[in-house]
Amino acid sequence: MTVVEVDELAMSYRAPVRNGGLRAALGSLVRREYKTVQALDQVSFTIGKGEVVGFIGPNGAGKTTTMKILSGILHPTAGRVAVLGDTPWQRRAPFLKRIAFVRGSQPVGGSQELTVMDSLEYQRLLYDVARPDFRRTLDELQQLLDLQLDRQLRALSLGERMRVGLAMALIYRPEVLFLDEPSIGLDVTAAAQIRRFIADHVRTTGATVLLTSHYVADVTSLCERLILIDQGKLAYDGPFAELSARLSPYAADLLESLREEDR
Amino acid sequence: MRTLSLLTFRIRQQVLEWSGAWWFLLTLVVQAVIAPLIGLFIWSAVYPDDPSITRYYVAIILVTLMTESFEQHTFSNRVYDGTLSHELLRPQPVVLGVIGENLAIRGWLTLLGAPIVLVTAIALHTTFAWQSVLLAIPGIALAAVLIFLFTFLLSLTAFWTDRVHPVVGFGSQLAFLFGGTAAPIGLLPDGWARIAEALPFYGMHGLPAEIASGKQYDGSLGYQLGWVAVLTIAAAAVWRAGIRRYTAVGS
Amino acid sequence: MKLLQLFGAGFSMSVRRSVAFRTNLLFDVVLAFTGLGTTIAAVAIVFTRTDTVGGWSKAEFLVLIGTYELITGLRSAFIDPNLSWFPDNGIRNGKLDAYLLQPAPSLFLASLSLSAPLALIQCVLGAGVLSWGIGTAPDKPDLYGVLSWLLLVIAGLVVTWALSVLLACLAFWAPKLQLDVFYHSAWQLGRYPTDVFARPIRFALTYVFPLALIAAVPSSALLNGPNAGQLAAGLLAAAVAAGLAALAWRAGLRRYTGATS
């Protein structure tokens, strides 16, 4: 069964060009110059139910843009996208309850004075989770993620924030998970803990996962399949093992440099 | 001499830095103008046939624009986010940077607010005698110093509390009531007028505006100078205590 | 129903967290007191010299100030925490992205889901001034006056919400333009009867930036009895403003998500 279907996806946007200085600032009020940025170009792929796919590429390649389109935050310029049979950017409530998008750079939003438990309770209301289900999921998550429910969000360390961010997303048991850099900024042990948790979660729930990461360890330990995009174009889609053999020299360098970063 | 050139440098740098946010400065102009403008309308409704009311309030608007101070934003934020530490390392008094930014913002506000004052004056058929305006210049300068010292003094509480905005807000409420913006001092009930004349706030807005609009002027600036001395001593003392606390906590 | 539940949950959480900051509570109470005291003192000075200003007596001024304070308190408690400095607080820090992912109307989440209960102190004080004003008024308001006041205050709140949403929507087209300082300054004009202002300002406050609706219109309805025309105009203005806000939000989101362009 196909969960994510992406067909000839394209995204371009106009960005204002502005020079520094007062005169340019005043001038830009009257007449602005724009340049068109092609963020995604003819990207196609499908993801089956229960697959865990690694989504890699250099900074600015279009990974986050794709994730935002798949989760419904952005509307593409062209192409067809179906996630769980739905068009994401219509943002229908039943669809939104079945997906989650967690960003390592902003794992938990909302009021930072709230406690972890308050935030989870709010999620329960927001996503209409039945109380017994909520209790059961919370017990599981609490064990696996080692949550301290009475702490304030602002007092959490980076690693704790990411774990809370995952808990807030998983409390409503989404079928599709988009994880954008889940281990960014974490130390080795914290990143390994997150990785282990994601692997366990996928095994027990059969959730479909698309994951971006700069850390090759994240990708190699979790994903059998890799999608590589570069400058908005699909550069590779297949098993990790075949990647270096089949790649152009440039892309091989790229992968090598990703490994370097990981060290 | 070195101090002066450092200050000029700082002012020029700040004038440029704020030029990118000219629309924001414009909203600050509106903020400065609104209270005296309300006073103008209210008191004109009470004394519809008295041209001295409009003349006085147009002068108040101008004085307010020329003397606005925002140390609770500029300086206190530097205490809160810790960047004050960088300035403490430099071989120049920290207050010089604060004054430089203050003067740059005032310059912008005066420049951007001048058309508003002009339009108001023309729309209300207000005229000023140029001798009175010239006479008012030292008074306005001292008012600018007084407001800076007062705002800076209150902003120094940032060393002790994170609620510097309510503290400064309370100070501006006092200045609004007793400084001649809510009502010209002469229109306050008798006992209150006497108190207001002794407090420093009258010297911040009301006194220079009265001189500019041609009211009584005995040529003495002693009252303003006295308060400048008091507030300078107070600010210096609080600064010393605050810095001791800041460096002891080590943030 | 669900929106009400979400609203209630957000509010009760905010209450619990603000009780934790007791010194801030003290500061806020003191400043709310002195702020209102300053306003009343300024008006009291005026009334030592005259009996009416722009046709309004001292008692009517007090009713006006009380109503203004009430609505301003509600705005600071329920609307400002969500929409103030929207380009920075709402968009740049990713809050809007998070709201778009949640299964509830994004306009509700972005404009009403957070609250600052401490600001309700202002409402309590406002209610006090309101009853003081009614107490000193020679004619007590009748039931119809009270009802139309209530209706107009609700309309005023809707207009307040809509103005804040419209202002926030500017961020979708001109993210660098932050007009919060301007909005808060102009808001001060609502504290006075529109009759005292010069004609162009009065026109703007009635039709363009309808602050007259916030306090002046409900207050005069309370004291002078209901006026069918004013009531209808108030409700119509509320409906139009809310409709405009919803449309602008939709258009803004379309732009933000790249649906147009």
Q: What is the ipTM score, two decimals?
A: 0.87
Q: In what order do the strands lie in the sheet with A78-83?
A: A33-48, A2-17, A78-83
Total structural domains within chain C:
1
In this complex, the residue of C23, C185, C196 whose CB is nearest that of residue B31 is C185
Range of the domain at C193: 2-256
Per-residue pLDDT reduced to its tens digit, B16-37:
888 878 888 999 999 999 999 9
The mean per-residue pLDDT over the stretch C243-257 comes to 94
Chain B nearest CA to C150, separation (Å) = 27
pLDDT of residue A254: 63
Q: Flag if B24 and C42 touch (Cβ within 8 Å).
A: no
Confidence category of residue B86, pLDDT binned at 50, 70, 90: confident
pLDDT of residue A262: 47
Strand partners, A176: A99, A208
Confidence category of residue B70, pLDDT binned at 50, 70, 90: very high
pLDDT of residue C199: 85
Per-residue pLDDT reduced to its tens digit, B165-177:
889 999 999 999 9
Q: d(Cα C252, Cα C99) in Å, to the nearest integer?
A: 14
pLDDT of residue A101: 94
Please tell me which residue, B221 or C79, carries the higher pLDDT value: C79
Write out the DSSP string of A1-61: -EEEEEEEEEEEEEEEE--SSHHHHHHHHH--EEEEEEEEEEEEEEEETT-EEEEE-STTS
pLDDT of residue C176: 80
Which residue on chain C is closest to B38 by alpha carbon? C189
SS3 label, residue B83: coil
Total structural domains within chain A:
1
Q: Flag if A97 and C103 touch (Cβ within 8 Å).
A: yes
Question: Which residues, given as ranges, of chain A have pLDDT below 50?
Answer: 262-263
Report the CATH number at residue A75. 3.40.50.300
Q: Flag if B35 and C50 touch (Cβ within 8 Å).
A: no
In this complex, the residue of C30, C177, C188 whose CB is nearest that of residue B34 is C188
- Contact residues on chain B for C178, CB-CB shorter than 8 A: 24, 27
The mean per-residue pLDDT over the stretch B94-119 comes to 92
- B194: tokens are 């006497």
Judging by DSSP bridges, how do beta strands A233-239 and A225-230 pair with one another?
antiparallel
Q: Judge residue B1's burial from the number of C-beta atoms within 10 Å of its C-beta, 0-12 exposed, 13-18 middle, 19 or more buried.
A: exposed
Rounded to a whole number of angstroms, the CA Rg of chain B reads 19
Please tell me which residue, C118 or B180, carries the higher pLDDT value: B180
- B174: tokens are 């006092």
Q: Flag if B166 and C178 touch (Cβ within 8 Å).
A: no
| Domain positions in chain B | 2-249
The mean per-residue pLDDT over the stretch C48-55 comes to 91
pLDDT of residue C261: 43
Q: Is residue B251 predicted with pLDDT exceeding 50?
A: no
Q: Flag if B31 and C198 touch (Cβ within 8 Å).
A: no
Write out the DSSP string of C85-115: THIIIIIITSHHHHHHHSSS-HHHHHHHS--
Chain B nearest CA to C39, separation (Å) = 9
Q: d(Cα A240, Cα A120) in Å, to the nearest integer?
A: 36
Range of the domain at A13: 2-262
In this complex, the residue of B45, B163, B189 whose CB is nearest that of residue C196 is B45
Q: d(Cα C227, Cα C224) in Å, to the nearest integer?
A: 8
In this complex, the residue of A101, A111, A125 whose CB is nearest that of residue C114 is A111
